[in-house]
Amino acid sequence: MTKRNLLNLILLVFISVLIMFVIYEPGKDKAITPPLLTKLKTDDIQNIKISRYQLPSEQRDISFSKTENGWVMSKPSPFTANTFRIDSILKLLSTVSLSQNNLEKLDPATFGLTRPQATITFNNTAIIFGHNKSLKHHRYVKIGSTLHMIKDTFYYQLTAKTESYIDHKLLPAKSKIQKLKLPGLKLEQEDGEWKVTPKADSFSADSINQLINEWQLSQAYDLNKVKIQPGTKPDITIHLKNNKVIRFKIKTDKENFNLLNIDSGLRYILSADRKNKLLNLSDIE
């Protein structure tokens, strides 16, 4: 081996040792992975129950079940669940536990656990929420006999109004409209083509498809439960291909376009500019 080759070999070994030193940094402690609140996997969750003890009795308990078509609310009323809300509370399972203590050696009242604020149960695992006194942006929760401290974001999600957990779409997911009856306008599908009454020669097939898509995809920015008077007549009637009929009453104001589902008692609150898009054919060239 020549001196040049020997020098190159020594230089290569030196560089390799230097790289290993930089990567592993002898004497430096390895990063500690913080413990998670639970070991539960979101895919394994089949049932969720939320109890909010500080709310009125009719708003206190909400239950959900997972079906082959997604999450549905089973209590207080059967509705398709708001997927975004469900995904948000499922993140609680894997949130970081900032501290863990054995409650058998502590007074639960100190942490607000004798009169808890809320409880959420995933399958059979209950997470009990205490108070956040003396904490900054954190909250005490209990699982079994262990006291945890977590970021105080999930409690406010749990105590949101019941309607916020309902799917905000005007129509059920994957709905296919067969007939759409609007004030002064009716669309009905026959042999794969849309028939418009009164006849609208000035509008293209694209404008018809756009109106249908608006109904199939639109969702409210807010929902409220309202009392529907018996005998209320619909302004809008929608026949779906699964033979389901959905009926709406129109209520408008300066700021919003409201649609009251006569059968479910839900008021869908949309921005005022949605009115024209949902009630009229657009002039598309």
- Say if CB 166 and CB 266 are below 8 A apart: yes
pLDDT band at 28 (very low <50, low <70, confident <90, very high): low
Residue 207 has pLDDT above 50, yes or no: yes
For the stretch 45-54, pLDDT in tens is: 999 999 999 8
Strands (E), 76-184: 79-80, 99-102, 118-122, 125-129, 138-143, 146-151, 177-182
In this prediction the pTM is: 0.81
The amino acid that residue 88 corresponds to is: S
Indicate the average pLDDT of the chain: 87
With a cut of 70, say whether residue 29 has pLDDT above it. no
The b/e string for 138-177 (b: 16+ C-beta within 10 A; e otherwise) is: ebbbbbeeebbbbebebbebbbbebbebbbbbbbeeebeb
pLDDT of residue 3: 55
List pLDDT tens digits, range 119-159.
Answer: 999 999 999 999 988 788 899 999 999 999 999 999 999 99
Give me the pLDDT at residue 270, please.
96
Residue 8 pLDDT greater than 50, yes or no = no
- pLDDT at site 12: 44
* Percent of the chain surpassing pLDDT 70: 87
In the predicted structure, residue 16 carries a pLDDT above the cut 60? no
pLDDT of res. 20: 52
Mean pLDDT of 210-225: 94
For residue 82 the two structure tokens come to 């708001």
Q: What is the rounded average pLDDT of the residues 40-68?
A: 93
100/42 Cα distance (integer angstroms): 22
Q: Are 54 and 155 in contact (CB under 8 A)?
A: no
Average pLDDT over residues 55-62: 87
Query: What share of the chain in percent tops pLDDT 90?
Result: 67
223 and 164 Cβ atoms separated by less than 8 Å: yes
Q: Which residue has the higher pLDDT, 284 or 142?
A: 142
pLDDT at 59: 83
The answer to whether 72 touches 64, Cβ cutoff 8 Å, is: yes
For residue 186, is pLDDT > 60? yes
What DSSP string describes 228-274? PPTTPPPSEEEEETTS-EEEEEEEE-SSEEEEEETTT-EEEEEETTH
